[in-house]
Structure 1
Amino acid sequence: MRLENSFEINPLEDKSPLLRALGERIRSLRTGKGIARKELASLAGISERHMANLELGTGNATILMLHQVAHALTCPLAELTGDITTSTPEWLMIRELLENRGDKELHQVWLKLIELLGTEKAPGSRSSRIALIGLRGAGKSTLGRMLADRLKYPFIELSHEIEQTTGCSINEIYSLYGPAAYRRYERRALEETIQLYSEVVIATPGGLVSEAVTYNSLLEHCLTVWLQATPREHMDRVIAQGDFRPMSGSKEAMTDLKLILEGRVAFYSKADVHLDTSQQPVNGTFEALFTKVQGTRQSAHIPP
């Protein structure tokens, strides 16, 4: 169903703070999941023009329209419209404790929660599973295979595991079943990999970090490495591979790529190891990666 008449636009009025905040949340969720505005509009059943106005905070949407947008983004309507931490007294008390805390304190709390709630008990097993994260074109596949060979570990590329499980390409999964189904397959592939391998190098899809449940599981069970590059390098490497997804047909591909990276940086930065792969030869980059990974593993008392 396409909702064309339920979107009231008055360009003469100043943006409402509420609508502006709503638009910013929608845009942030969309770019974080790597979904183009045109694709989101299609998934939500509204026009691209209305989606643009919604993100700009210049239009007033119905609850039904917001519900459709939330469904397309695979998130609760409450997450779209505001803070879900008002649902129970426990949420409210936790929120009060964390409110106005700095990033360093929040990171320490997060680590303690992982320790308190985590199920991984075997000492050292987290550092024996090494997961590479980052945008497409960062070098996860190339460097991941090299690292697995050096460590004599299996190498798993989650995208390939998903394709083997479903019998479809990633593009076909998105086209036939949508992003929500793809994220479910992604989570299942990660869970199975963690269960099957105590020692492994994993190359993850770039958008995995946008799904909190999946990313928390990755951080809990794996030593994570963020492979960074400039947006131009990401774009050039993807084009060199002949793969234009998800920027295919977009006249603003570079702008979209920068927005996606901007929306994910805070998540990527949670990785244990950071490595910039921009403008470096592969062999030199790999040696830097191996040195950093081994240094982190040794500090955790993991044998090389």
Structure 2
Amino acid sequence: MSRKILSRDSGVSERYLASLEAGRGNVSILLLKQIAQAMNVAVEELTRSTPEVPTELALIEQWLARLSPGEARRALRWLRREFGIAAPARMQRIALIGLRGAGKTTLGSKLAHKRGVPFVELDHEIELAAGAPLAEIFLLYGQAAYRRYERRSLEALLARAEPMVIATGGGLVSEPETFDLLLSTCFVVWLKAQPEEHMARVVAQGDQRPMAGSREAMDDLKRILGVRDELYRRADAIVDTSGRSVEQSLRLLERASGPARGLKRSR
């Protein structure tokens, strides 16, 4: 921007602007604001004593300043996932999320076998760390303790710095810090299914508890899915296993967990 245009847009004389550039003038806060507004920059940029910030970074800073707190958190998550130091390794670690009965163990173990990498169930790692089965952890120590073990176990897995396929617990997405850690260090796939299929698969595994109050259990399941839907959709990819065989779902999972970036939905 030329001095003439700046003078016109700011209402500050060219002569006064020239004296400021030469370091001879004393500027008031009011005039400084007028000049900053004309240049479409923050006042702080005009008084910065550090080396000049590249134009691109200055523009990014201005855009970020306009975001709401929620939008800023989303932007931070995206930046971490796209440009974080773990970005190359992230694509080599596949993490499966979803409710029980989605197929995380079945499909995860098969995907790991095809990739020639370890398959790890996070709940199993939690039991090893706590020295007790999950039911006992919840009974004796409560959910807060389980979440602490969950976070520590995930951190321990990531410290291995090796390719793997991880099956996570269905409620991990409800713990913001742990879920953000997973998203920033792994390629996350949501294995999705209809509520009726979730229920049928759990029963087929030999767990008859959902049938004790099947109507209430189904209502609870639908409610949980509704609450977590937005969280699950933060995954890098979504694979809908509804009405599909294990082989069909596995093919979709293989395709979805490739190196391509961005959210992909396999239907």
TM over 0.5: yes
Correspondent of 1:111 among 67, 73, 78: 78
**C-alpha displacement at 1:243, in angstroms?**
3.2
2:250 is aligned with 1:280: no
Residue type matched to 1:111 in 2? W
Kindly indicate whether the alpha-carbon contact (under 8 Å) linking 2:81 and 2:185 is maintained by their aligned counterparts in 1. no
Is 1:160 aligned to residue 124 of structure 2?
Answer: yes
Residue number among 143, 152, 169 corresponding to 1:179 in the alignment: 143
Q: How does 1:1-304 map to 2 (within 5 A)?
A: 97-98=67-68, 107-108=74-75, 110-112=77-79, 120-243=84-207, 252-294=216-258, 297-299=259-261
SS of equivalent to 1:238: helix
SS of the residue corresponding to residue 125 of structure 1 reads helix
Which amino acid in 1 is paired with 2:135? N
- Stretches of structure 2 that go unaligned for 5 or more consecutive residues are 1-63, 263-267
Structure 1: segments with no counterpart, 5+ residues:
1-93
Encode CA deviations 1:234-258: one digit per residue, 9 max, x unaligned: 0111111123678976861111111
- Which structure has the greater CA radius of gyration? 2
TM-score, length-normalised on structure 2?
A: 0.67
Q: Distance in 2 between matches of 1:189 and 1:292?
A: 26
**Secondary structure, counterpart of 2:171 in structure 1:** helix
One-letter identity of the residue aligned with 2:257: V
**Counterpart-to-counterpart distance in 1, 2:70 and 2:136:** 44
Residues matched between the structures, number: 199
The one-letter code of the counterpart of 1:205 is G
TM-score by length of 1: 0.60
CA distance in 2, matches of 1:193, 1:246: 32
RMSD (Å), alpha carbons: 2.7
| Closer/same/farther in 2, CA of residues 247 and 164 from structure 1, 3 Å limit | farther
Sequence identity percentage: 48
One-letter amino acid of the structure 2 residue matched with residue 224 of structure 1? V
Change (3 A) 1:98 1:122: closer
In structure 2, the CA distance between the partners of 1:99 and 1:210, relative to structure 1 (3 Å rule), is closer
> In structure 1, what is the Cα distance between the partners aligned to 2:183 and 2:194?
24
CA-to-aligned-CA distance 1:34-88 (integer Å, 9 cap, x gap): xxxxxxxxxxxxxxxxxxxxxxxxxxxxxxxxxxxxxxxxxxxxxxxxxxxxxxx
Distance 2:103 2:252 in 1: 13
Change in Cα spacing, 1:95 to 1:253, as seen in structure 2 (3 Å) is farther
CA drift at 1:197: 3.5
CA pair 266-137 structure 1, distance change in 2 beyond 3 A: same
Q: Structure 1's 298 and 251: CA in aligned 2 closer, same or farther, altered over 3 A?
A: closer
